C-alpha cells in the first residue's frame, strides 16, 4: 500500500494517534488528537507534547527510555486538554524505527470512559475506594520519583506524574509524616515540597528495584 495513503488514513483517523522524536517533540498529530486535546496540528508539530507541561516528567522520560530499548508500554494516566478539562486516559506506546534504529515513539490514546473491563495499571486511584495497600504504595513511590531532586508544587507533581492533585496532596501528608518529604514553603496560593535525605535514599532504592512496577508491558503476540 502507498505510504502517503497510509499516512493520510492515520492523520484523518478519529482514533487518537501521535508520534514524537526522542526528545518528546511532536512529529505526528492527527485529527483524533486535535479533537481530544484541543490543540491544532500547527500548535503541536515540532513542539514538546502540549499536554505534558514539563519536559523532565518522569512519565515521558520512562516512555522514551523504554522506546530506546525497543519496548512498548500500556498504562493509565490523567491529562488536561487545552482548556483545562481533566481526561482519564489509556496510553499505548511503541518505539518507532528507521531501519534498525529507534527514532521516536508512537502513542495511541484511548479515553477510559469509553473502555470496559480494562486491566491497565493506574497512576491514580479514588481514595474512597477499597484499594489494596500495595496500590497506595505505588502512588506514593511515583510521587517520590516525580519530585526527584527538585523543588515542586502540588500542581507540578500532579502534572508531571499524571496523578490528580487532590490525591497528590493527601499522599504528601503521609510522606511528610514518614519524613520522606518536607514542605519548604507554604502560602495562601502555593505550597512547595522537596525530598528529605531519607526520601532521596529511598528514591534511589525504588529506581533500582521497582522500575518496572509502574507500567504493564505490552504482551507479545
Which CATH number goes with the domain that contains 34? 3.30.450.20
Same domain, 155 and 181: yes
Chain segment 174-188, per-residue pLDDT in tens: 999 999 999 998 876
- Whole-number average pLDDT of the chain: 81
Phi (first) and psi of residue 126, to 5 degrees: -85, 120
Percentage of residues of the chain with pLDDT beyond 90? 38
pTM over 0.85? The answer is: no
> Range of 47's domain?
3-120
**CA distances (Å), 206 to each of 126, 148, 202, in order?**
24, 12, 6
Q: Is residue 38 scored above 80 in pLDDT?
A: yes
* Separation CA 41–CA 31 (nearest Å): 8
3 pLDDT tier (thresholds 50, 70, 90): low
Does 170 share its domain with 114?
no
CA dihedral 212, 213, 216, 220 (to 10 degrees): 40
Q: Residue 198 above 80 pLDDT? A: yes
pLDDT digits (tens, 9 = 90+) for 108-118: 998 887 765 44
Judge if 105 and 145 occupy the same domain: no
Q: Residue 189 pLDDT > 90, yes or no?
A: no
- Residues 9 and 115 grouped into a single domain: yes
pLDDT at 130: 34
Amino acid at each position: 500500500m502507498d505510504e502517503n495513503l497510509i499516512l493520510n488514513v492515520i492523520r484523518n483517523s478519529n482514533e487518537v494517534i501521535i508520534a514524537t522524536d526522542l526528545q518528546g517533540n511532536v512529529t505526528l498529530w492527527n485529527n483524533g488528537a486535535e479533537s481530544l486535546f484541543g490543540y491544532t496540528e500547527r500548535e503541536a508539530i515540532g513542539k514538546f507534547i502540549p499536554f505534558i507541561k514539563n519536559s523532565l516528567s518522569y512519565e515521558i522520560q520512562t516512555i522514551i527510555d523504554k522506546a530506546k530499548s525497543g519496548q512498548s508500554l500500556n498504562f493509565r494516566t490523567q491529562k488536561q486538554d487545552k482548556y483545562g478539562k481533566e481526561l482519564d486516559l489509556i496510553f499505548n506506546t511503541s518505539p518507532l524505527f528507521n531501519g534498525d534504529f529507534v527514532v521516536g515513539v508512537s502513542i495511541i490514546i484511548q479515553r477510559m470512559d469509553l473502555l470496559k473491563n480494562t486491566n491497565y495499571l493506574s497512576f491514580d486511584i479514588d481514595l474512597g475506594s477499597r484499594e489494596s495497600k500495595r496500590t497506595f504504595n505505588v502512588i506514593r513511590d511515583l510521587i517520590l520519583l516525580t519530585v526527584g531532586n527538585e523543588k515542586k508544587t502540588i500542581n507540578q507533581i500532579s502534572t508531571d506524574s499524571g496523578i490528580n492533585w487532590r490525591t497528590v496532596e493527601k499522599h504528601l501528608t503521609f510522606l511528610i509524616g514518614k519524613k520522606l518529604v518536607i514542605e519548604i514553603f507554604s502560602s495562601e496560593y502555593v505550597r512547595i515540597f522537596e525530598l528529605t535525605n531519607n526520601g532521596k535514599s529511598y528514591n534511589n532504592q525504588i529506581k533500582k528495584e521497582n522500575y518496572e512496577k509502574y507500567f504493564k508491558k505490552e504482551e507479545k503476540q
